[in-house]
């Protein structure tokens, strides 16, 4: 299984989501069986490290994302990844514009796809403060936990190979 986490610039939500998902997967029976990456629907921050506030937020939760680098979502990502997990509806729309017609269903809103009740989007903390980053982290980490459970259930069904 291959998952790509998406936000606008790939410096806040998607690297935090990638870090949370990697950490949750590493601590599960799926360790080493799921590929995770992140990208942005814009190329504004190509090659840049995550926002220092995102790095600090993830670090407070024991996750190191400092080595990640921003990259834009590419057409070929829709062939490589099984799911494009979008932080919000705007990024979902932008991702689907780039998607080949037969791959639109690969791009999804991450929170509903993961089964998170009561929230459909991860708010962008860029203009906020530490509390906004913590709120986004809480949603992303919940989505990561639910994603691991969803994939573990799929593995148990025999759909994903060893």
Catalytic residues: 7, 13, 124
- Judged by DSSP in three states, 10 sits in coil
Structure tokens at 4: 């790509």
- Max CA separation in the chain (angstroms): 44
Query: How many other CB atoms are there within 10 angstroms of residue 134's CB atom?
Result: 15
Torsion of CA 112, 157, 22, 62, to 10 degrees: 90
């Amino acid at each position: 299984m291959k998952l790509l986490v998406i936000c606008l610039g790939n410096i806040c939500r998607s690297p935090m989501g990638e870090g949370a998902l990697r950490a949750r997967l590493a601590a599960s029976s799926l360790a080493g069986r799921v590929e995770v990456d992140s990208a942005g629907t814009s190329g504004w921050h190509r090659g840049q490290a995550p926002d220092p506030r995102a790095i600090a937020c993830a670090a407070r939760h024991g996750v190191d994302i400092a080595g990640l680098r921003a990259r834009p979502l590419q057409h070929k990502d829709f062939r490589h990844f099984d799911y494009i997990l979008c932080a919000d509806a705007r990024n979902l729309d932008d991702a689907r514009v780039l998607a080949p017609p037969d791959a639109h269903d690969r791009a999804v809103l991450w929170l509903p796809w993961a089964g998170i009740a009561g929230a459909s989007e991860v708010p962008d903390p860029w203009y906020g403060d530490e509390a906004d980053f913590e709120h986004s982290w809480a949603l992303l980490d919940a989505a990561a936990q639910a994603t691991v459970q969803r994939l573990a259930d799929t593995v148990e069904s025999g759909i994903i190979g060893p």
